[in-house]
Amino acid sequence: MLLAETSRTPAPVAAPDAEDWRELASCRGVASSVFFSPDGERGHARARREANAQQICQDCPVLAQCRDHALTEDEPYGIWGGMTEADRRRHARRLRSGERR
């Protein structure tokens, strides 16, 4: 007896919604100390840590969502979406002054 073959259409892959973009982030599972500075960190140590964090962010599939989150929520600390605290402050100043990207 031959069984009739059924045609199955694969289920569409859902795009991450506003909450589960973090599940797809390249930083998932990386120590938070890579993205957030310890008390008193300055100079070359801070620059090195930030560069390492930004390298992780560089090819992240949800970089834009992470950056948007940080800018919308006004995250005061850490590397978010490849932006440092100083980057986000500069961005906010430009927006307040009406400067375009």
Q: Is 8 annotated as a binding residue?
A: no
Q: Is residue 10 part of a domain?
A: no
How high is the pLDDT of residue 4? 46
- Structural domain count, the chain: 1
Rounded-to-integer distance, Cα 101 and Cα 35, Å? 25
Token readout for 12 is 């569409």
Amino acid letter for position 58: Q
How high is the pLDDT of residue 1? 41
Q: Is residue 55 part of a domain?
A: yes
CB burial of residue 16 (10 Å; 0-12, 13-18, 19+):
middle
How high is the pLDDT of residue 96? 87
Q: Three-class SS of residue 83?
A: strand
Q: Is 57 annotated as a binding residue?
A: yes
Rg (CA), the chain: 20
Q: Is residue 51 part of a domain?
A: yes
Maximum CA extent, the chain:
76
How high is the pLDDT of residue 11? 40
Q: Is 46 annotated as a binding residue?
A: no
Prediction pTM value = 0.76
Token readout for 98 is 């009406």
Rounded-to-integer distance, Cα 15 and Cα 65, Å? 12
Q: What is the DSSP letter of 24?
A: G
**pLDDT tens string for the chain (101 positions)?**
444 444 444 444 445 455 689 999 999 999 999 999 999 999 999 999 999 999 999 999 999 999 999 999 999 999 999 999 999 999 999 988 886 65
Q: Is 49 annotated as a binding residue?
A: no
25: domain range?
20-98
